[in-house]
Amino acid sequence: MSTREQAVKILENMKRVIIGKDDVLEKVLICLLARGHLLIEDVPGVGKTTMVKTLAKSVNLSYSRMQFTPDMMPSDITGITLYNKTEERFMFKKGPIFNQIILADEINRTSPKTQASLLQAMEEGEVSIDEETYQLKKPFMVLATQNPIEYQGTFPLPEAQLDRFLMRVSLGYPGVIEEKEIIVNYKESKSLNKISAVASEEDIVRMQDEVDEVHVHEDILHYIVGISNASRSHSDIHLGASPRVSIDLYRGARALAFVRGRDYVIPDDVKEIVPYVLGHRLILSAEARIEGRRVEDIIKDVLKRVHVPVVSAIEG
């Protein structure tokens, strides 16, 4: 079985649990294959936590769930150094961050200080404690959830934290047919205990390496940079895309092309992931907020201002 066939198999496995959200599941897999982290923003009860558990079980990676609360401390995430009386020495007890699939549930319910303890792990794949640096096992991915309608008792994620997430997705409410199927699956206990791993740790690493080999034409690079530059000069945007956004568009477009069965990126790959990569990072100007402008509409306007490369030249 080829790595692309395995990627499809992972998606099909996840669809057995998460009903009617095929596009979102594809973006979750793309984020993993691009070595990125994912922010899941939605109302309670739509399956955010279940989706993360399904991913972890499908790819057979170690998993930990952290329920973020206002009194949570950084050591609750990274670990703590304790004194062992028997051995008469200090020993480091690893925290839940030392797993491969991390669910940071309701991340905006904890303080900025605790949120910041994730930054090094997400950016560098390592954790520094008491002048010691510990490498995290790869593949490593943080999937954080937050409920957009609950503002009391929450701490909005700072720009530096948001910029560490390659994509942001929303599940949304299911359709009528899908919701009926969800009820039947729940009634018949067709849940996580009914699925098993369809890919190993080695398989995921192999897929990630193949994504790194997907060809990106010079014109596509110019297109990506053009999108970032257009966001920085847009009158309705106070803070535009950083160079990290350009890198993430590049990584995400490669992973999307891989999942779609191509070894080269086309403009539509970039265009499709732009809302997921830029949506949580752009800060609107005060005037745009007062006028009720939406980030989604401004992103569409940004895309209209950038010249799209010719596909035939890229494929050739």
Q: What is the DSSP string of 46-99?
A: SSHHHHHHHHHHHHT--EEEEE--TT--THHHHEEEEEETTTTEEEEEE-TTSS
pLDDT tier at 314 (50, 70, 90 boundaries)? low
| Residue with more model confidence, 220 or 47 | 220
Look at residue 186 in the predicted model and tell me its pLDDT: 66
- 6 has pLDDT over 80: yes
Length of the chain: 316
Average pLDDT over residues 233-237: 89
- Of residues 11 and 81, more confidently modeled: 11
Please state the separation of Cα 30 from the chain's center in Å: 9
Average pLDDT over residues 58-77: 90
Report whether pLDDT(193) > 70: yes
The predicted-structure confidence for 131-167, as pLDDT tens digits, reads as follows 788 899 999 999 998 876 555 556 778 788 888 999 9
Could you tell me the fold of the domain covering 213-315? Helicase, Ruva Protein; domain 3 (1.10.8)
CA distance 191 to 316: 46
Q: Which residues pair with 101 in a beta bridge?
A: 63, 141
Q: Give pLDDT, residue 173.
A: 79
Q: Is the bond into 139 cis (omega within 30 degrees of 0)? A: yes
Give the span between the Cα atoms of 155 and 90, in whole angstroms.
34
- 76: how many CB neighbours lie within 10 A of its CB? 19
Q: How confident is the model at residue 263 (pLDDT cuts 50, 70, 90)?
A: very high
At the topology level, CATH places domain 3-204 in Rossmann fold (3.40.50)
d(CA 130, CA 145): 29
Token pair of 185 as six digits = 């699956």
What token pair was written down for 42?
């939605």
Domain map of the chain by residue range?
A: 3-204, 213-315
What is the reported pTM? Answer: 0.88
E strand or H helix that includes residue 271:
helix 267-278
